[in-house]
Homo-oligomer: A and B are copies of this chain.
Amino acid sequence: MPKDNAATQTVQRIANILRCFSAGEPEIGVMQISRATGLHKSTTSRLLSSLEAEGWVAKNPETRKYRLGLEIVNLAGTVLEQIGLRQAAQMHLRELADLTQETINIAVLHGDECINIESIKSPHAIQYAGQLGRRNPLHCTSTGKILLAYMSAEQRQQRLTPPLRAFTPHTITDLAELEENLMQARAQGYAAAYDEFDEGLSAIAAPIRDFNEQVIAAVSISGPSFRMGAEQSQLYAAHLLSASRRISNQLGYFANP
């Protein structure tokens, strides 16, 4: 008997299994997954071979371990295509990347996190690894702040349940302080996050709007803090705002008079 409003057990189990795979441990065996998920090893084995049949995981016959399969990339392609943003943005992102030589990301809201849906990596040796699909917190990233800044107060409140996690000593954990920070972001048109998520990592972000004037995403420039200080950010901000405006325009947004 499935619990009240709970999800189908199998779906949960599959999701748990797939979540075991990470960039750090891309190839894992049945027993490891079994231990991590608490599933019986025979169940794990059977579920994995089912997933393999669908191309969602792939088995390495050498090591008899599994890794995530390419069929997932196929599905993700459909998701990203739907958002449509990527195509609209690509040219402008490349310009921004060429100009700044730093990492460029586009992120959208997903629950109480933001997810990178596009990233162009800096050619510099020291760079922020903004992996596609990576989930980041809202309150201490530049893209997250933009998304927070332009949502309704209720929505924001809902997503900012104290205590705000302090990722570094610089993370803003006080709600009032963050609120002010966001107000400033709205005023100047872009948000900044200096060492707030990762010590040594700083970024600035600007909103992307669709035809409906809704902020649907944020575009950011990130780099090591020694290359992304307040002065440098100021300089980059003009380019960032220009890019975000051009992308928005392509989505049908035009500032009203």
Q: Which residues of A contact B (CB under 8 A)?
A: 2, 7-8, 10-12, 14-15, 18, 21-23, 26, 46-47, 49-51, 53-56, 67-82, 87, 90-91, 94, 97, 108, 110-111, 115-117, 120-121, 123, 131-135
Contacts and interface: CB of A to CB of B under 8 A. Distances in A.
Instruction: Give the 9 A-B CB pairs with smallest separation, nearest first.
Output: A77-B133, A76-B76, A7-B50, A10-B10, A11-B50, A74-B133, A8-B50, A73-B133, A77-B132
Give the oligomeric copy count: 2
A7 to B, nearest CB: 4
B70 A79 contact: yes
Given A12-B54, A67-B82, 11 more contacts: A8-B46, A14-B14, A26-B82, A55-B110, A55-B111, A70-B133, A72-B72, A73-B76, A73-B115, A80-B132, A90-B120
Nearest to A26: B82
Given A7-B50, A11-B14, A49-B7, A75 B74 contact: no
22 contacts: A8-B46, A10-B14, A11-B14, A15-B54, A18-B75, A22-B78, A23-B82, A26-B81, A55-B111, A68-B75, A68-B78, A69-B79, A70-B110, A70-B115, A70-B117, A72-B75, A73-B117, A73-B133, A74-B115, A91-B123, A94-B94, A94-B97
A3 B49 CA distance: 13
Which of A53, A69, A72, A91 has the most B CB atoms < 10 Å from its CB?
A72
